[in-house]
């Protein structure tokens, strides 16, 4: 069973504790990096949500951790909206797996 964890600013994650989600408040990239390293050190399966803004400079670490069979890191928008990073990543994954381009219309 996957443990669900979320890395985001404190004001976004505190209400999620009620749902049984393990929260890791992070206000900056170094905080988010430390949270990812702490989670990966536990060696337990995990589904990790992290806001796009915190993940911007962590792409290499996230890609490395996503290669582990028991770890999945998903980028999510924060309260200010999406930066486009998650949709670019999804489009790239689809293009590489099925050889087709996904066009997202607004």
HEC states along 34-64? HHHHHHHHCCCCEEEEEEHHHHHHHHHHHHH
Walk me through the domains of the chain, giving residue ranges and CATH numbers. Answer: 3-79 (3.40.50.10580)
Reading the block at residue 36, the tokens are: 């990812």
pLDDT at residue 1 above 50?
A: no
pLDDT at residue 43 above 60?
A: yes
Convert the pLDDT of each residue in 49-92 to its tens digit. Answer: 899 889 888 989 988 888 888 888 888 887 665 656 655 665 55
Burial group, residue 90, by CB count within 10 angstroms (0-12, 13-18, 19+): middle
């Amino acid at each position: 069973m996957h443990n669900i964890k979320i890395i985001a600013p404190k004001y976004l994650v505190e209400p999620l504790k009620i749902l049984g989600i393990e929260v890791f408040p992070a206000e900056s990239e170094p905080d988010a990096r430390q949270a990812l390293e702490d989670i990966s050190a536990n060696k337990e399966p995990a589904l990790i949500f992290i806001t796009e803004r915190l993940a911007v400079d962590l792409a290499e670490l996230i890609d490395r951790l996503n290669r582990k069979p028991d770890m999945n890191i998903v980028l999510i928008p924060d309260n200010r909206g999406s930066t486009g990073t998650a949709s670019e990543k999804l489009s790239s994954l689809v293009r590489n797996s099925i050889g087709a381009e996904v066009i997202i219309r607004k």
